[in-house]
Amino acid sequence: MKKVIISALLLTAVVVWIFFSYSTASPLTKKDPEGPQNTVSYAFDRGRGTDSDDSNPHPLAQSSQLNGIIFTKGLAVGQAPEGYFNDALIIGDSRIVGLQLYGGDALKDATWFAATSMGVYNYSKTTVDVEGIGKVGLEELLAKKHFTKIYVCLGINQIGYDMGDHEAKYGAFIKMLRTACPDARVVLVSNLHVAKARSDTDSAVNNPRIDELNNWLLRQQNGSSIFYIECNQLFDDESGAMAAEYTSDRTHLYAKYYPQWSAYLASNAIYQEGDGN
């Protein structure tokens, strides 16, 4: 019986050790400091951002009145006129697949080129079944159909890659679009944040990196042919991450929130006179 008691005491000691080492209720367990760990910002708001270029912000961004979208050459930003999306192309990854499937009627007239796992590294190998055209690659689609607006939401799938290289690839991608459709307005849509639970634990896919890419996208806008639209304010919580109640996998929105996103894009269209006619 002595051995039973001794081993029981030993087992109890191990359990106590585990409690003090791992339990969040233990006074000895290291706790996270108060407040959000990652100070995330929206790309257009330099005042509270983590952008390293704070000392020399992009001049156009400072004159932004609406989510960093600048309009020149008779362009305006607002509710898309009737037929606006008839000649719009929307390119994106799985989140845009969700937007296409569940976004409702706001963007339904657009042409969609969206595929899970797509990014600027692998878009040339991706084919999508495009309504009215069939299974095509992006460059083939651009050659077959004329677009005056091209929305792009890419980046999350390769967000863990070297940022300099990613930006270079993205730049080449934008250049390809501009070459294929010289008169099209390229609208770079912000990559949505991920939930805090993912951002805090994922060394690759986290909100500081997403913001870094979004900041770079913002800096690409030139006011005439390349624009940027920030959308994270729609779904973020106070810590600047995607609100936990909006997602089950910490990355993709529940379907019921996509209509909100599509309505936002439709109500912040970059249009000029004659669009949609």
Identified binder of another protein from the candidate list 53, 224, 254, 272, rule CB under 8 A: 254
Nearest C-alpha neighbor of 217 from the set 142, 148, 121, 151: 151
The answer to whether the Cα torsion of 169, 264, 142, 118 is positive or negative is positive
19 counts as binding another protein under rule CB under 8 A: yes
The H or E element containing residue 91 is: strand 88-92
Residues 25-44 that bind another protein (CB under 8 A): 25, 29
7 counts as binding another protein under rule CB under 8 A: yes
161 counts as binding another protein under rule CB under 8 A: no
143 counts as binding another protein under rule CB under 8 A: no
66 or 101: CB nearest another protein: 101
- Tally Cβ neighbours within 10 Å of residue 97: 17
Q: Distance between CA atoms of 270 and 268, rounded to whole angstroms? A: 7
Nearest C-alpha neighbor of 43 from the set 236, 199, 195: 236
96 or 226: CB nearest another protein: 96
Stretch that binds another protein, among 11-19, 76-84, 169-177, 209-217 (CB under 8 A): 11-19
85 counts as binding another protein under rule CB under 8 A: no
Identified binder of another protein from the candidate list 10, 168, 172, 197, rule CB under 8 A: 10
Contact criterion met (CB below 8 Å) for 99 and 90: yes
125 counts as binding another protein under rule CB under 8 A: no
What is the side-by-side order of every strand in the sheet holding 111-114?
111-114, 88-92, 149-153, 185-189, 226-229
E-strand stretches of 154-275? 185-189, 226-229, 269-271
State the nearest-atom distance from the C-beta of 21 to another protein, in Å: 6
State the nearest-atom distance from the C-beta of 166 to another protein, in Å: 20
6 counts as binding another protein under rule CB under 8 A: yes
* Alpha helices for 70-120 (secondary structure H): 94-102
105 counts as binding another protein under rule CB under 8 A: no
53 or 245: CB nearest another protein: 245
Beta 149-153 vs 88-92: how paired, if at all? Answer: parallel
- Binding footprint of another protein on the chain (CB under 8 A): 1, 3-4, 6-8, 10-11, 14-15, 17-19, 21-25, 29, 98, 101-104, 247-249, 252, 254-256, 258-259
